[in-house]
Amino acid sequence: MSTKIRAAITAVGHYVPDKILTNAMLEKMVDTNDEWIRTRTGISERRILENGATSDLAVPAVQNLLKNRGIGADEIDVIIFATVTPDMFFPATACVLQEKIGAKKAWGFDVSAACSGFVYAIALGAQLIEAGTYKKILVVGADKMSSILDYTDRNTCILFGDAGAAVLLEPSSDPNYGIIDHKLYSDGSGGDFLYMKGGGSLNPPSHKTIDDKLHYIYQDGKAVFKVAVVGMADVSEEIMKRNNLTGADVDWLVPHQANLRIIDATANRMGLDKSKVMINIGKYGNTTAATIPLCLSEWWHAGKVKKGQNLVFASFGAGYTWGAVYVKWGF
Ligand code: UT7
Given a cut of 90, whether residue 174 has pLDDT beyond it is yes
Q: Return d(Cα 1, Cα 243) in angstroms, integer.
A: 25
Could you give the 3-state DSSP secondary structure of residue 316? strand
Q: Tens digits of per-residue pLDDT, 180-206?
A: 999 999 999 999 999 999 999 999 999
Q: Catalytic one among 115, 182, 259, 295?
A: 115
pTM over 0.95: yes
Please work out whether the CB of residue 259 comes within 6 Å of at least one atom of ligand 1. yes
Which atom of ligand 1 lies at the shortest distance from residue 30's CA?
A: 48
158-172, pLDDT tens digit by residue?
999 999 999 999 999
CATH no. for 179-328: 3.40.47.10
**Residue among 195, 119, 151 at smallest CA distance from 48:** 151
pLDDT (tens digit per residue) in 99-124: 999 999 999 999 999 999 999 999 99
pLDDT in tens, 13-28: 999 999 999 999 999 9
Classified as helix, coil or strand, 94 is helix
* Structure confidence by residue, pLDDT tens digits, 64-99: 999 999 999 999 999 999 999 999 999 999 999 999
- At 4 the pLDDT is 87
CATH ID of 7-176, from 3.30.300.30, 3.40.50.150, 2.30.110.10, 3.40.47.10: 3.40.47.10
Instruction: Report the alpha-carbon angle 253-254-256, nearest 5.
Output: 125
Positive/negative CA dihedral, 272, 273, 274, 278: negative
Residue 23: CB partners within 8 Å, gap ≥ 6? 32, 33, 34, 37, 38, 43, 44, 45, 158
Task: Quote the mean pLDDT of the chain.
Answer: 97
Average pLDDT score over residue span 230-243:
98
Instruction: Decide: 329 and 297 in contact? Cβ < 8 Å.
Output: no
Express as a percent the part of the chain with pLDDT over 90: 99
As annotated, the residues of the chain forming the CATH 3.40.47.10 domain(s) are 7-176, 179-328
Distance CA 258, CA 250 (A): 21
> Of how many residues is the chain composed?
331
| Helix boundaries (H) for 196-327 | 207-211, 221-242, 260-270, 281-284, 291-301
CA–CA distance, 136 with 250 (Å, rounded to integer): 27
Cα(221) to ligand 1 centroid in Å equals 5
Cα-based distances in Å from 41 to 8, 276, 283:
33, 19, 12
* Cα torsion 302, 182, 123, 173: sign: positive
Note the maximum CA span of the chain. Answer: 66
**Residue having the nearest C-alpha atom to atom 39 of ligand 1:** 155
Beta bridge partners of 317: 321
Q: Strand 107-111 and strand 218-219: pairing?
A: unpaired
* Active-site pick, 14, 95, 256, 259: 256
Residue 2: predicted pLDDT = 60
Nearest CA to ligand 1 atom 14: 221
Asked whether residue 1 carries a pLDDT value surpassing 80, the answer given is: no
> Residue 3: its pLDDT value, please?
74
258 in contact with ligand 1, CB cutoff 6 A? yes
